[in-house]
Amino acid sequence: MTVHWCGTGLSAIPGLRRLIQNGVPVTVWNRTIAKAQEAVGDITDDIRAFDPDALAEATQAGDVVVSMLPGDWHVQLAEMAISKNTHFVSSSYIAPEMRALDSAAKMAGVAVVNEVGLDPGIDHLMAHALV
């Protein structure tokens, strides 16, 4: 099982580093390799330029695709993951297009998990602080 982590923005780095440091097999995909190397190049060399076709080719059944990319990528990546019998995780809220993939994911026997990560967490903490 490999975790294919897409995106190395500021909210991605702590979780990504923890996975790698704990020995989880992680392939890092980022638009610019140099930025990913700055983020985690000191602890891994499995860094690749983000390309949806290359990601699909590298993904195998039972892997996990984590998308920390902008939300407009999530549905496309989730569809690919389902087609490859791969689990999918994103930090974004569940869009109607993502909700529509529920049956396909269940039929494929894979988990599609959204609203996991920094942004929803900050929203929840701020709401708690306001209450």
**Which tokens go with 89?**
């995780």
Active site residues: 119
